[in-house]
Amino acid sequence: MFPPGLTSWLDKLAEAWTPGIWVFVASLLLSLLATPLFRGLALRRGIWDKPDQAVKIHREPIPYLGGAAIWLAWTVAVLMWAVVTHSAPWRAVGALLAGGAVAFVTGLVDDLRDIRPWQKLLGQCLAGSILLAGGIGWRAYPNLHWLPVLELAEDSMFVVVVCVATHFLVVIGATNATNLLDGLDGLCSGVTAITSTGFLLLATALTIWARYAPAGKAVEYEYSELIMVVSFALAGAAVGFLPYNFNPARIFMGDAGSVFIGYVLAAMMIMFASKFGMVKWFIGALFIFGLPIFDTGVAVVRRIANHRPIMMPDRSHLYNQLVDRLHLSVRSTVIILYALSAFLAGAGLLVLYLPGRSAMVVYVVAGSALLALVWRVGFLRMSEDEKAAADRYLAAKRGRL
């Protein structure tokens, strides 16, 4: 049916994906079954996300706790794989599961109690510390032979400090970017499925190359197989949740879901950066994760350009602007952003064919071009009505109204 060469590659792909496909199926089914159960619990307990007519403009209260279904499905699927697989790296898996539990609880407490930003940050740092304790750390300090003064040994103090700082920057940045992306029905869950698929394909390429490269050219990549499993599990959990979350949403994932998802995506990006000098895979992962980064960048730049506090809650996000300025429907906006996320994921996979420095240049140029486009269409301008609405929201949050 297929040419011999293609058949050989399909066999290799099937071998690489066989454990993960079952992880995906398990996670998908668990998410599909658990989501309505947690929705019922939220309805009974009165755990709602209420509209405020400023930032949250859904018409009626929507129950939370969807994040609990996503966390449960992912955790059980990964744990089942680790138990069944004799070669599972238990130290790394344990760190992933424990850090995931911390991230989930941090978001859940915020959903229920509305905790302060520093408390959320503390939970994110704890989750990042657990990853480090489990041996999962950012170590991809680049090869800077073209800048000899910064070409240092792996164990030098400067390199260690840079790697640890970057590790926590990735955890905190990815977690909050994902949290901020959860602003429209189905947006965060759908983008999570796309991003997980991108990570899966990148890790698959690394795994197959390590297994089947010509003698003397194979390079073992420590976490490539684990990333595939984690990607399958997260994609399954997100896809299983999406039918209940797509517009019109019957349940929200809440911070419990978005903070947890951000942590898992951050952990996978860090695992792509686990080898000294191999920064290109991390750059590819950043590209694949590009939509949350770009959306957060647009919101921050817009607030700075309009002399507003960076942490001020408002409708500055890209998805807000597509709805408010272009008057697109929620569904149309979400589908457009799915397409943009898939495009960025495809661009991220190009690092398989580019040198590390070239990939970085492409990433910077692409990001700058997207920001220029957003500026050109006027998304960075804030009206007086928007400023007033944001101020009312902040005042309400502080108990002034």
3-state secondary structure 103-145: HHHHHHHHHHHCCCHHHHHHHHHHHHHHHHHCCCCCCCCECCC
| E-assigned strand segments in 118-178 | none
Residue 5 lies in a domain: no
Arithmetic mean of pLDDT, 298-304 = 82
Q: What does the angle CA 390 – CA 392 – CA 396 come to, to the nearest 5 degrees?
A: 115
Model confidence at 65: pLDDT above 50: yes
- Per the CB < 8 A criterion, the answer to whether 281 and 205 are in contact is no
Question: What is the predicted pLDDT for the residue at 401?
Answer: 46
Closest CA to 99 of 73, 125, 81: 125
Q: Which of 28-37, 202-211, 338-347 has the lowest mean pLDDT?
A: 202-211
Model confidence at 230: pLDDT above 90: yes
- Per the CB < 8 A criterion, the answer to whether 247 and 326 are in contact is no
Q: What does the angle CA 386 – CA 390 – CA 392 come to, to the nearest 5 degrees?
A: 120
- Per the CB < 8 A criterion, the answer to whether 62 and 51 are in contact is no
Percent of the chain beyond pLDDT 70? 85
Structure tokens that stand for 52 in this block: 């405020």
Closest CA to 55 of 396, 393, 399, 401: 393
Q: How far is it, in rounded angstroms, from Cα 258 to Cα 106?
A: 11
Residue type, 33: L
Per-residue pLDDT tens digits for 350-385: 877 777 667 777 777 887 888 788 777 777 777 776
Residue 139 lies in a domain: yes
Residue 111 lies in a domain: yes
Residue 4 lies in a domain: no
At 149, the pLDDT band (50, 70, 90 cuts) reads low
Owning domain of residue 108:
11-397
Number of domains in the chain: 1
Residue 271 lies in a domain: yes
User: Strand 48-49 and strand 62-63: pairing?
Assistant: antiparallel
Model confidence at 4: pLDDT above 70: no
Per-residue pLDDT tens digits for 304-341: 877 777 766 667 788 888 888 888 999 999 999 999 99
At 397, the pLDDT band (50, 70, 90 cuts) reads low
Residue 392 lies in a domain: yes
State pTM to two decimals.
0.91
Question: Which position has the higher pLDDT, 209 or 231?
Answer: 231
Query: Averaging pLDDT over each range in 224-228, 346-350, 380-384, which range is the top one?
Result: 224-228
Residue type, 28: L
Residue 366 lies in a domain: yes
Q: Which of 21-35, 218-232, 297-311, 385-399 has the lowest mean pLDDT?
A: 385-399
Residue 165 lies in a domain: yes
β-pair partners for 277: 142
Question: What is the predicted pLDDT for the residue at 2?
Answer: 40
